[in-house]
Every structure is written in structure tokens, then in C-alpha cells.
Chains A and B, each alone.
Chain A
Amino acid sequence: MPTLVPAPLGAPFSQGGENAIDSVLATRLLSEALSAGGDYADLYFEYRVTADYSYEEEQVKTVGRGVSLGLGVRVTKGDATGYAYTEDLSWERMAHAARTAGQIAAGGGAPAPVDANPIHIPDLYPVAAPSIGTSAQEKLALLRTADAAARGYDKRIAKVEASFVEQIKEVLVVTSDGRWARDVQPLLRFGVRAVAEVDGGARRQAGSSGGGGRYGMDYFAQASKDAAAHGREAARIAIAMLDAKDAPAGEMPVVLASGDSGILLHEAVGHGLEADFNRKQTSNYSGQIGKQVASTLCTVVDDGTVPSSRGTINVDDEGFASKTNVLIENGILVGYMHDRLSAKHFGIEPTGNGRRESFRAMPLPRMTNTQLLGGSSSPDEIIASVKRGVYAKRFSGGQVNISNGDFVFSLTESYLIEDGKITAPLKGVNLIGNGPDVLRKVDMLGNDYELSDGIWTCGKDGQSVPVGVGTPTVRISKITVGGTKA
């Protein structure tokens, strides 16, 4: 019986669990899935326990827990996918889901499933004690600490919200071509939002800061990542933005700060290099392998193996170990991110990018930790090189049109650069550009590569997955800044 307090942390489908799945049962289910035909089938068992705590008005406002358990069954035949799922792990319901997924393949034969063997997977997020199993009081204390730090930063801070969200997910993938992969994936995220107010509420501004990843409570022991640091940072942004001026409108140089700016990369090239779009020739990067798609300074890597990062996975949701995949090398497009279907289409090895939101959704090629590698300039030198432009420091997110390559990128903390110096803070503004065009205009790269703290979530086809991004300080020689001052 799934319970809210996962002690011991074992999924019902694991050995010794109430619905334990062994290779005999898995093979029987895969045979059901392929009973109408098809090339391939896989099973994705998922058990997830989540907890959340929120603190507002100097009170613990909400405490929540949830548990979900289910099986997703996929059958493919050529490029066609049949998919079904069930939350009930009785044989009857699982077999029904398997046959429902198999209806796509009606007609024609199918290979018999091969007995599955465990694949070797790394241990990229060793967590001695998952946070979800540790004392809740300790987490509430962190929320109080962050709240006090934000309020203590400046007396104009009028409102603080702090939250802690954690989960532990156990997955088991079994495939008809013989792979068996099990992984336990911890994830936590801490966040603080502060609102500053002046003149009795006549003027307000908000700021936020957060972080996390595939850590235990040891996350908070890292320098500048403790609860108070996030509280102060949220307050700092809110206060700094109180004096924000109207942002300029039009094309100009933009300097992106290291770390979170990697989401520009995620939008500008990342999505367009997910191989489902290229298999179907719907991306503006289709057919561009071997061509110059960025300035020669740019080397872009999607790396699922960065220890403890939010986007890291030991194994993807199709049972392939994660990898370090070079996408763009010195400006030349060298590879895409694949799931099983696209890898087969292109005749290459899967890259470990087949991911899904939950057992209710089929896997798609998705990013893990997408990174622009560092260059040789110092950040100061980059800022000093700009006569008039924008320095972009914090972001709320971005979006891309895969087909034409246009992307936007929303700034929440940015400053004007005048004569090589950072000057006035600017009101919230969007940057808009076209992926290949903007990457060709990257003309300086800092020597200060930084991985973002663990806050980003990527959406595609209605499925959300945690990701990481990373970049050094970057200069883009010209991009459209969407302010109001024409």
C-alpha cells in the first residue's frame, strides 16, 4: 500500500514490494504489449512521493504531501507510438494497458521480448539520506531563516514568501530488447520571493532567489546556497529594482551574466537540436549537421552527468545511461539530442535524452544540463567593451518557436551599460532574437563558466522536466531589446 511516509524508501514494484515486478512478470507484460504486432515495447514503472512546505506572513502556511504510482506501456511500430498507462498495478489492469498500447500495431508480427538484464548505470547523485525522509522541523527552520534574512535586509521589505519542495522518484524501465534499468532520483528546490514597498504601497517591486538539485539537506551547507543567502538575494533584487527605469527598445549589444543566462542557450539552440524535430524536418536546424550555426567561439554541450545538478539523470526514461553530448563544436553543428526513435532513424547510438514527465506520458528527446563552455575574456573586460547596451542578470524564463527559430527571454534584473560601466537598473523586459542569428553574434566569452542553481523546469508538449543550464559571461554584439523607450 503506497504510504505518505516512504520508510523504507522502496517502491511497491521493487523487490519485496507489494507489487514486485520480476523479469518473468515483465516479459509476460511485454508479450501482451506485442501480442497484436509491433517492433518494440517498453514498461515504465514510476513511484513518486512529494512534499511541500510554504511560509508566509511569518507562519507555516501550507504543508502538503502526495504520492503517485503507475505504469506506462509503450509499443512502437515504425515511427508510430501506442501508449497507455494505469495507476493500478494488478495483473489485469497492467495487461489491459499493455494491450491498449499495442492496438497501434494491429496486424503484422512482432519479435518475442528478450529477457531483460540490468544495464550498468553510474551514481551521479549519491544521497546518504533523501531529504524527504528527514525531519520536517529542519526544513521549517530553513524557511524561517530565509524569511528573517529577507526582512532583515532592508526595512522596505513588506512581504516574504519562502517555500521548500522535495520529491523522491523511483523508476524501473524494462524493454523488449532486453534492458532493465532502475534508478532512485531525489530532487529538492528552495525558493524565496520578497516584495519591497515604498511610499505606503505607491511603489512596489518583487525579487526572488532559489536553488536546489539532486541533493539531500547537504545542499544548504554549500557556500552562498544556504537559506539566509537566498533570503538576502531575493530582498536585494526587490530593493534594487525599486529604482528601475524604462528599458530601451531596439537593437543593441547585450552582456549576459554567467549561470542562469544559459536559458538563452536552452531556447536559442537547445530545443531546435532535440532530434524529434529534426527527424521530422520541422526544426530550423534540420539538415544543418556539419554547418556553421554559431560563432567559432561557441561550443555547446548537453551533459546529463553533472554531479547532483537538477537536470542530471543516471539513466533516461527509456533505460539508456546518460552521457555528455557535444552539440556544437567551435560553431559547427555536430549532433542532436536523441530518444530511441530518433536515434534509430539517424542510425546512431541513443544519447540518453529520452525523458518524460511521468508514467502518464511518452518519452521525448529532452535536454538535461545544457551548457555553453567558457572562453578567455574576463567578465570586467566584456562589460567594459560595451559603449551602450544592457547587462542581463536574472530571468524569469524563455520560449522558442522551433520552426522559425525565434526565441524570447524575459529579464527580471537587468541594467543599462553606459561607456563600459553598469549604471541604472531597468524595468522587466524581453529580449527577442533568432537562434542561429544570435549565436553567430556571440563575439566575447568569459572565463567564468558557471552552472545555474537548481531552479529551472522545461516544458514541451505539455510535459515538464527539471533541467540545468550553464554559461560564462557572454557578449552578443546585437539583439533586439523589447523595452518601451523607442
Chain B
Amino acid sequence: MSAASITPELVAHLVQTAELAVDLAKKAGADDAEVIVRDGSELTAKIRLGEPELLQEASSRGLGLRVFKDGRRAVTYTSDLRRASLEAFAIETVELAQLSEPDELNKLPDPSELARTLPDLDLYDDHVARVDAAWALAQCKAGEKAALAHDKRVTNSEGATWSRTLGATAFATSGGFAGGYRGSYASFVVEPLCDDPSDPENPKKRNGFWWTANRFLDELDDAEAVGIEATRRTVATLGARKIATQECAVVFDPECGRSIVGTVFSVANGSAFWRKSSYLIGREGTLVASELVTIEDDPLIPRAPGSKPFDGDGLPTRKNVVVDRGVLRPVLCDVYSGRKLGRPSTGSAGRGIGGNPGPTTSNLIMRPGASTKDQILKQTGRGLYVTSMMGFGFNPVTGDFSRGAQGFWIEGGELTFPVSEITISCNFDELLKRIDAVGDDLDLRSSTACPTFRVSAMTVAGTDAEA
């Protein structure tokens, strides 16, 4: 076992620290208290053009405290976990709570709702912990070398990076919850670069990347295969150009389609609802997307990147269907937003070290359909295939959606030339309803995921129509 390993004993120790801090807050006069403790370590190794560029290795820990006193609250964090420091920290936090105003809905969950037994979701692989800097650098070297060798149009590199994070989370509340878990995550990315002289007035570079990630070391893709795929994707963008402004079908590659799925959550959660920051308010139980669309949030998938055994309120986690064949189900809530809306939590609370709980996602997944990506392209005939999006053009209150995009033009059911410097726009309500094909190619490298899917029509803004 290496020094980086997170042992069950360490998790137990962090749970004890969390319980100690809860006790200290109660002793300082809090009616209730809730404590989260995180301990984690990271290793990042990067090779660029065959030489080491970065080696970063460190561990850190932090503690977040939330206290309740006479209906008032305060939230604080510290990285100093010594007992004497925690005593002073607890006293100051209770004093701070006097500044807030009573909110009868903001209190700990009823003890009967708390998680009693925690599922083992198999989230930690000690092989990831045992990776040392030399091995990680060797992976980078091999992946980048394969990328550079695969196509001579690759003239430069933004490097190859191997990273791991190991973490333990412990949570305790005066309501009676105490628990913790550990997790590992490893990722590897290769970023080749090409010179693109196709516009002599404005010489450009074209970058691209490909990646692999998993909680388990032996599930990572081979470093050379990642490098070769990165190069294939990068050289394909050479000569990318603008297209004319028009309305057309848009097919989303899963790499960027998942940000559409994430956008659904941003307007389908209890916090956005009570803050009047969602165009979906009042739409639960009705059709808000095409019947081909089913989106689930599932924290209980073994080994998946977003899985967790309990939520940020200490409630058991569970699978929630967010959109069921186009129908919006009850939106994801933590305890507080649920109370604001007069309903129970969906077990979806997230909790950072320095903040209040709020609704979050675990593994948010658009369910796959029956078509292959190639079948979808063939059926499309003519349109835009989008591989990446840029910018923040979404207004949750109205659903107005407009983002920068890159990809390929589809003609005769096949990808033809690369496209860049365009935007795609459509009100989000329409966008979801216009999804008319969903692929079978779901993969779970990331905690928000989807297969290839198609929107029947969006506005593409590019050059003047007559150009």
C-alpha cells in the first residue's frame, strides 16, 4: 500500500472528527449542527513533446460546519482540524449565526429520513492509489508519442496528462447521521495540435483531444489508443470553415450532448423552482421533451463516477427519473428546496465544504435508444454534426439557448467538411421537443452522459445567407 492510499481506518477517523465537531458545536450552544470532512490527494503528471512538463503531488483536507441556533444559521469552513482550533471555530460559528434571520423551513431533516445502512458501491481502487509519478509519466510519454506518430500533420502538442484523485468524505449531524466513504478516479488525456494554414490572412492552429477515465485502473483505455484517437479527431478539424446562416437538423456528439443533459438539470431542480429561475415551473407531469427522451439520475450504479451512498443531507440516495419518455417527473430536491415546494427530498442534496446543501446530480444519464450513430447520420441526410460547444448562452428563466459550436457538415448522410465559428440557437423548450433520434452509444466515463442524439431543427448562424 502506498502513502497515498485511503484506508477504511482513515475514513473512520474522519467520521470521528466530524462527530467531534458536531459535539463541540452543541457544547458551544448550537441547537443542531452538521459537519462535513473531506480528505483527498492528487497526482498530476504531464509530458509535452516527450519531456516532463509538470509533476504535482499533494494532499489536503478541510472541514465544513453548519450550525442552527434559534432558527438562525451559519456556515463556515476551515482546514485546521486540531481539537483546540475546532473548539474556537465552533464557538465563532455559533456567534456568527446570530447575524442570520430565522427560517423555520431551514433545519435538519427528520431523523426518520436519515440513511441507516450505506450501500457498498465499489468506488475505490487501491491500484489507482499505488500509481507513482514515474509510471504516470511513462503513460503520458507513450500516449503522446502515439499521437505524434499517427499523422504527420500533427506539428505540436499541448501534452499528455495523467491524473488521479483519491478522496474520503465523512458526514455527521446532530440528528443522528454519521457515515463516510472513499473514492478513486483516474484520467488520461492527450491533446495534439496542428498548424492550419488554410487561411493565409489569418493562420490558425487546430487543437483537439481524447480522454479516458475511470475509478478503476484496469478499466482505463490503453494510452496509445487514446493518443491515436486524439490525433484522428484533431486532424479532422483542419480547414474548418463557417457555413451560411440557416435552419437545419443538428446531431449532437455525446462529448458535447451531455452539456444539454446538464442544462436540463439546471432548470429541473427544486432550488431553481423556488427561486423562480426555471422556465419549467408548473410543468411537472406534462410533456416537456420528445417521447424519445428519458433522463435518470442514478447514484447507485456500482463503480460509476458520480455514485455515492448518501446525500448531502444524510439521506439515502436513490434513482430518480427526471424526464420519463418526455414527461417531466418531480424535480430533484434536497431537504430545504423540497420544504420550500412543500414536498419530500428526492435524496439529491449535494454539499461542498464551504456551502449550504443544494440539489445536485450524481450520474445524470439520458437513456440510449435503438439507432447507431451511423444510422442517425444516414437518416439525417443534410445538417450539422456538433462535436463541441462554447460559451454560456442559456437563460434558465426563459429557456433562450444560443451557443458557439464546432463540428462537421452532414451531406448525403455522411460527415463531409469541418465547421467552426458558428452558433446554434433554439429555445430550450423547443430543442427538447424536437429531439427525434436517440443513439445506442452511451458511455459512462463522465457523471453526466448521453448517447448521440438529433434535434430536428435549430438556427445555425454563420455567414450571410448569400455568401
> Which of the residues A4, A50, A81, A85 comes within 8 Å of B96, measured between beta carbons?
A4
Is A79's CB within 8 Å of the partner chain B? Answer: yes
Residue of A nearest to B246 (CB): A486
14 contacts between A and B (CB under 8 A): A2-B80, A4-B89, A64-B354, A65-B76, A66-B77, A78-B51, A85-B58, A284-B203, A401-B207, A405-B202, A405-B204, A410-B393, A482-B403, A482-B404
Per DSSP, are chain A's interface residues mostly helix, strand or loop, or mixed? strand
Give bound CA distance, A482 to B279, whole Å: 21
Please give, as numbers and ranges, the residues of chain A lying within 8 Å of B204 by CB-CB distance.
284, 403-405, 434
Please give, as numbers and ranges, the residues of chain A lying within 8 Å of B421 by CB-CB distance.
406, 432-434, 480
Assess whether B88 is in contact with A3, with CB atoms less than 8 Å apart. Answer: yes
Is B212's CB within 8 Å of the partner chain A? Answer: no
Give bound CA distance, A408 to B388, whole Å: 13
Give bound CA distance, A476 to B97, whole Å: 51
Please give, as numbers and ranges, the residues of chain B lying within 8 Å of A97 by CB-CB distance.
58
Interface string of A89-103 (1 = CB under 8 A from B): 000000001001001
Interface residues, chain B, CB within 8 Å of chain A? Answer: 48, 51-58, 60-62, 73-80, 82, 84-85, 88-89, 92-93, 96-97, 99-101, 103, 133, 156, 158, 193, 196, 202-207, 240, 242, 245-247, 275-277, 279, 281-282, 354-356, 390-395, 397-398, 400, 402-404, 406, 420-427, 459-465
In A410-448, the 8 Å CB interface with B consists of 410, 412, 427-430, 432-434, 436-437
Assess whether A70 is in contact with B79, with CB atoms less than 8 Å apart. Answer: yes
Assess whether A480 is in contact with B242, with CB atoms less than 8 Å apart. Answer: yes
Assess whether A250 is in contact with B202, with CB atoms less than 8 Å apart. Answer: no
Is A303's CB within 8 Å of the partner chain B? Answer: no
The number of residues on chain A lying at the interface, defined by a beta carbon within 8 Å of a beta carbon of chain B, is: 90
Assess whether B281 is in contact with A480, with CB atoms less than 8 Å apart. Answer: no
Interface residues, chain A, CB within 8 Å of chain B? Answer: 1-5, 50, 53, 56, 59-70, 78-87, 97, 100, 103-104, 136-137, 140, 158-159, 161, 195, 197, 201, 204-206, 247, 249-251, 280-284, 286, 360, 362, 396-410, 412, 427-430, 432-434, 436-437, 480-486
Assess whether B76 is in contact with A4, with CB atoms less than 8 Å apart. Answer: yes
Please give, as numbers and ranges, the residues of chain B lying within 8 Å of A398 by CB-CB distance.
391-392
> Which of the residues A2, A249, A400, A401 comes within 8 Å of B78, measured between beta carbons?
A2
Residue of B nearest to A404 (CB): B204
Give bound CA distance, A286 to B88, whole Å: 53
19 new A-B contacts, CB < 8 A, other than A69-B79, A282-B156, A403-B206, are: A1-B80, A2-B80, A3-B89, A62-B356, A65-B74, A65-B96, A67-B80, A69-B80, A81-B56, A83-B55, A104-B55, A280-B48, A396-B393, A398-B391, A404-B240, A428-B402, A436-B202, A482-B459, A484-B425
> Which one of A79, A159, A204 has the highest number of Cβ atoms from chain B below 10 Å of its Cβ?
A204
Assess whether B276 is in contact with A197, with CB atoms less than 8 Å apart. Answer: yes
Q: Kindly provide the distance from the CB of B282 to the nearest chain A CB, expressed in whole angstroms.
A: 7
A63-B74, A432-B461, A484-B427 known; A204-B391 Cβ under 8 A: no
> Which of the residues B133, B196, B398, B423 comes within 8 Å of A432, measured between beta carbons?
B423
> Which of the residues B75, B80, B390, B425 comes within 8 Å of A63, measured between beta carbons?
B75
Please give, as numbers and ranges, the residues of chain B lying within 8 Å of A81 by CB-CB distance.
53-56
> Which one of B92, B205, B460 has the highest number of Cβ atoms from chain A below 10 Å of its Cβ?
B205
Task: Give the A-B contact count at a CB cut-off of 8 A.
Answer: 286
Q: Kindly provide the distance from the CB of B243 to the nearest chain A CB, expressed in whole angstroms.
A: 11
Give bound CA distance, A80 to B427, whole Å: 47
Q: Kindly provide the distance from the CB of A406 to the nearest chain B CB, expressed in whole angstroms.
A: 5
Give bound CA distance, A318 to B388, whole Å: 35
Assess whether A84 is in contact with B56, with CB atoms less than 8 Å apart. Answer: yes
Give bound CA distance, A433 to B390, whole Å: 12
Residue of B nearest to A87 (CB): B79
Please give, as numbers and ranges, the residues of chain A lying within 8 Å of B394 by CB-CB distance.
428
Please give, as numbers and ranges, the residues of chain B lying within 8 Å of A87 by CB-CB distance.
60-61, 79-80
> Which of the residues A100, A103, A204, A396 comes within 8 Å of B392, measured between beta carbons?
A396
Please give, as numbers and ranges, the residues of chain B lying within 8 Å of A103 by CB-CB distance.
55, 57, 133
Please give, as numbers and ranges, the residues of chain B lying within 8 Å of A137 by CB-CB distance.
99
Assess whether B464 is in contact with A251, with CB atoms less than 8 Å apart. Answer: yes
> Which one of A97, A283, A399, A404 has the highest number of Cβ atoms from chain B below 10 Å of its Cβ?
A404
> Which of the residues A104, A286, A407, A485 comes within 8 Å of B459, measured between beta carbons?
A485
> Which of the residues B58, B89, B463 comes within 8 Å of A100, measured between beta carbons?
B58
Assess whether A430 is in contact with B356, with CB atoms less than 8 Å apart. Answer: no
Assess whether B392 is in contact with A486, with CB atoms less than 8 Å apart. Answer: no
Residue of B nearest to A80 (CB): B52
Please give, as numbers and ranges, the residues of chain A lying within 8 Å of B74 by CB-CB distance.
63-65
Please give, as numbers and ranges, the residues of chain A lying within 8 Å of B53 by CB-CB distance.
79-81
Assess whether B52 is in contact with A437, with CB atoms less than 8 Å apart. Answer: no
A430-B393, A480-B242 known; A408-B404 Cβ under 8 A: yes
Please give, as numbers and ranges, the residues of chain A lying within 8 Å of B424 by CB-CB distance.
482
Assess whether B85 is in contact with A205, with CB atoms less than 8 Å apart. Answer: no
Please give, as numbers and ranges, the residues of chain B lying within 8 Å of A205 by CB-CB distance.
397-398
